[in-house]
Amino acid sequence: MFQLSMPFNFPKPFPFSCFSLRKKSVNPFPLNTCSGFCCTPKEMVGLSAGEKHFIQGGIAQDLRLDGRKRLTYRPIYVETGIIPQAHGSARVRLGATDVIASVKAELGKPSALQPDKGKIAIYVDCSPTAAPMFEGRGGEELSTELSVALERCLLGGKSGAGAGIDPTSLVVVEGKVCWDLYIDGLVISSDGNLLDALAAAIKAALSNTGIPKVDVAAEATGDEQPEVNISDEEFLQFDTTGIPVIVTLTKVGKHYIVDATSEEESQMSSAVSISVNRKGHVCGLTKRGGAGLDPSIILDMISVAKHVSEQLINKLDSEIAAAEASEE
């Protein structure tokens, strides 16, 4: 189900296309606006003109379809430790959006350019159960977009600077042995705002991760690989307070909303996903959608995202703590 062995040097950046390449045979229902992600609402259901008007009016009047304000998230439900074979896993439900993240660690050799850093790879898969258009290769474009956006937001630059997860904590023997982290995400059900849900799931999965303690058995000289003993008993936990969350702001008309459902996403003109950490620093930025944005709007969106992220980080941390407590 999860693709575990991914080469770290994933080709990036992925060229963002604002017009989606929808296969006509798969999607018989015409959609009037293009959503930034090439894949569309969960049941490919179109909306009538009256319903669209209702949604846009609601957003303009600060009262969305389910009574939320523009900057309110849906209730987040976190479960951790759901995949016992993985080193860490979590499932996050955001309304009808349901995603699972798992973390697997394997011993590997660090790259020659960065001998003191471990390697992390993020890969997202859209399950065909989420929507009929994900069947076969339909979900591939969306999967790659999500994977790249998450890597950009969580892993920082090419040199590893500014990463949410510190890769230097993954090294065992400098230059010889390091941990390779493979983070896999699976979208089970899609009702909008996949990026936020995946980032929350990854954060929860990393909180749940226990990397086995490694004892270096023998000192090795030159190019020899040292022998290592992987302990079954002791585990090291990650410090996940530094991991950023992603806040996606969807612009509909003149206003932005947070945590859009798939119906609201079908009405958007553009969306900006901003990854913010606990200190309020911006760790990554992704813009989707065909409409152009004035730079002042982007700056405004960043400040709104900072404001929203404070509550979101606190809420997420408390939910993760509750999930870990109930798991025990």
Residues that bind another protein (CB under 8 A): 29-30, 45-51, 53-54, 57-58, 60-61, 63-69, 72, 74-77, 93, 319
Q: Is 197 helix (H, G, I), strand (E, B) or coil?
A: helix
Write down the least CB distance from residue 63 to another protein, Å.
5
- Report CA 162 to chain centroid distance, whole Å: 17
Q: How far is the CB of 122 from another protein (least distance, A)?
A: 26
The residue (of 64 and 104) whose beta carbon lies closer to another protein is: 64
DSSP states along 235-259: EEE---TT--EEEEEEEETTEEEES
Question: Among 189, 199, 167, 207, which Cα is nearest to 274's?
Answer: 199
**Rounded least distance, CB 86 to another protein, Å:** 23
Q: What are phi and psi of 281, to 5 degrees?
A: -90, 145
CB nearer to another protein: give 20 or 72. Answer: 72
Dig out the tokens for 254 from the structure: 């003149």
In the complex, the smallest distance separating the C-beta of residue 130 from another protein, rounded to whole angstroms, is 16
CB atoms within 10 A of CB 207: 24
Nearer to another protein, 45 or 230 (CB): 45
Parallel/antiparallel/unpaired status of strands 282-288 and 171-173:
unpaired
| Residue pair 118/169 in contact by the 8 Å Cβ criterion | yes
Q: What span, in angstroms and rounded, lies between the C-alpha atoms of 179 and 181?
A: 6
Minimum CB distance to another protein smaller for 114 or for 189: 189
Shorter beta-carbon distance to another protein: residue 66 or 227: 66
Nearest approach, Cβ of residue 47 and another protein (Å): 6
Q: Output helix, strand, coil percentages for the chain, rounded to the nearest 5.
A: 25, 30, 45
CB of 57 or CB of 175, closer to another protein: 57
Q: Give the strand pairing for 119-126 and 177-189.
A: parallel
CA 42-3-78 angle, to 5 degrees, is 55
CB of 172 to another protein, least distance (A): 38
Nearer to another protein, 121 or 133 (CB): 133
3-class SS of residue 119: strand
In the complex, least distance from residue 171 CB atom to another protein, rounded to whole angstroms: 38
Q: Minimum distance between the CB of residue 316 and another protein, rounded to whole angstroms?
A: 13
CB of 258 to another protein, least distance (A): 13
- Name the residue nearer to another protein (CB basis): 76 or 105: 76
Number of other CB atoms surrounding residue 64 within 10 Å: 20
Query: CA-CA distances (angstroms) from residue 238 to 165, 180, 295?
Result: 9, 14, 37
Instruction: Please answer whether residues 257 and 23 qualify as being in contact, where contact means their C-beta atoms are separated by less than 8 angstroms.
Output: no
Q: Distance (Å, rounded) from C-alpha 72 to C-alpha 65?
A: 12
88 or 95: CB nearest another protein: 95
